[in-house]
């Protein structure tokens, strides 16, 4: 297994552990994971190609669907309620 895929597995474990935290303490680690994901996806695409990138991107979108929907609504100017604590 390549170093890129090992880092991707560690990223998934970190995201899972972050999901277990109370909502008010998820913001910092979740934001760090959200910002690290595009860099990791780039290296996955570079090392393993389009099919593995697609699988990793689907996993990323699955794990961060609610924060990404919130950010998309805010970007389009629609009202978006933050998650409840």
Q: Classify the C-alpha dihedral 3-44-29-58 as positive or negative.
A: negative
Q: pLDDT truncated to tens, each residue of the chain (85 aa)?
A: 899 999 999 999 999 999 899 988 988 998 899 899 999 999 999 999 999 999 999 988 888 888 888 888 888 888 877 766 5
- Contacts of residue 80, defined as CB under 8 A and 6 or more positions apart, other chains included, come to 70, 73, 74
Residue 8: closest CA among 46, 23, 67, 27: 46
């Amino acid at each position: 297994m390549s170093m890129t895929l090992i880092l991707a597995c560690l990223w998934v474990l970190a995201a899972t552990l972050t999901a277990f935290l109370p909502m008010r303490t998820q913001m910092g680690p979740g934001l760090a994971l959200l910002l690290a994901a595009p860099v990791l996806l780039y290296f996955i695409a570079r090392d393993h190609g389009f099919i593995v990138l697609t699988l990793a991107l689907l996993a990323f979108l699955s794990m961060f669907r609610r924060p990404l929907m919130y950010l998309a609504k805010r970007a389009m100017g629609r009202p978006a309620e933050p998650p409840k604590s």
